[in-house]
Amino acid sequence: QVCISAKRFIIQKKIANEFIRELTKNFKEIENKIGPLSGKKILETIEDQVNSSVKMGAKIITGGKRIAKKGYFYPPTIIADVTKKMPLYFEEAFGPVATIFIVEDDAETIKIANDTKFGLGASVWTNNKKRAQLFIEELESGSVFINNKVTSNIRLPFGGSKNSGYGRELSSYGLKEFVNIKTVVIEKQM
């Protein structure tokens, strides 16, 4: 339920099976350690997004059903085969739901990554400096982290592009967001 939590995993086909297997293993390990969502409305929204997407053809890999205990608990969920007609493609899942997109190459990765109204943060994993630079330049995101998860650090400006916010907070750039710049012109003769 952190705004910069990973939500959309865009995985190239050559590593997709291994990635999904490891992510599923990780999600199952943390299933009993996850806390509740922040409220009933958040839980209902997540349930609706997942259920609607599944009815339209998405496939649940793990999770996907409300945890039957008191509170607003939803299990870590992985869902694949999400298409543009589904809520989980364009809506932000503000809970423990990972959508998986399997792509062929970098161009398709960038296309899907940018095909959203959000743009807060992106995490790219590669050992190739040229590829890293390509993603830095092409991703429409307020921050791009290479070989690291998206995090917030008071020394770095933080904020998104598109519908993920306007302006920046934190760092000296964040301070400038609270300053009103005033232009003053005084004629020579008063």
CATH number at residue 69: 3.40.309.10
Residue 166, pLDDT above cutoff 80? no
- DSSP E strands, the chain: 8-12, 59-62, 77-80, 97-103, 118-119, 122-124, 144-146, 161-162
Specify if 188 maps to a domain: no
pLDDT digits (tens, 9 = 90+) for 114-162: 998 877 789 999 999 999 999 999 999 888 889 988 887 888 777 777 7
The CB density around residue 135, as the number of other CB atoms within 10 Å, is 20
Specify if 129 maps to a domain: yes
- What integer pLDDT is reported at residue 58 of this predicted model? 98
Specify if 65 maps to a domain: yes
- What integer pLDDT is reported at residue 92 of this predicted model? 86
Domain count, the chain: 1
Specify if 189 maps to a domain: no
Specify if 151 maps to a domain: yes
Specify if 35 maps to a domain: yes
Give the side-chain half-sphere CA count within 13 A for 113: 27
- What integer pLDDT is reported at residue 1 of this predicted model? 55
Specify if 186 maps to a domain: no
2: confidence class by pLDDT, cuts 50, 70, 90: low
- Over the chain, what is the mean pLDDT? 89
pLDDT digits (tens, 9 = 90+) for 29-66: 887 788 899 999 999 999 999 999 999 999 999 999 98
Using CB atoms within 10 Å of the CB of residue 94, give its burial: 0 to 12 exposed, 13 to 18 middle, 19+ buried.
middle
Least confident of 81-85, 89-93, 180-184: 180-184
Q: Residues of the chain with pLDDT > 70: what percent? A: 96
The CB density around residue 123, as the number of other CB atoms within 10 Å, is 18
**How do beta strands 77-80 and 59-62 pair?**
antiparallel
| Phi and psi, residue 102, nearest 5° | -100, 125
- What integer pLDDT is reported at residue 136 of this predicted model? 93
Give the side-chain half-sphere CA count within 13 A for 91: 17
Mean pLDDT of 61-79: 92
Residue 189, pLDDT above cutoff 70? yes
Specify if 149 maps to a domain: yes
Domain with 33 in it: 8-155
The helix/strand/coil state of 123 is strand
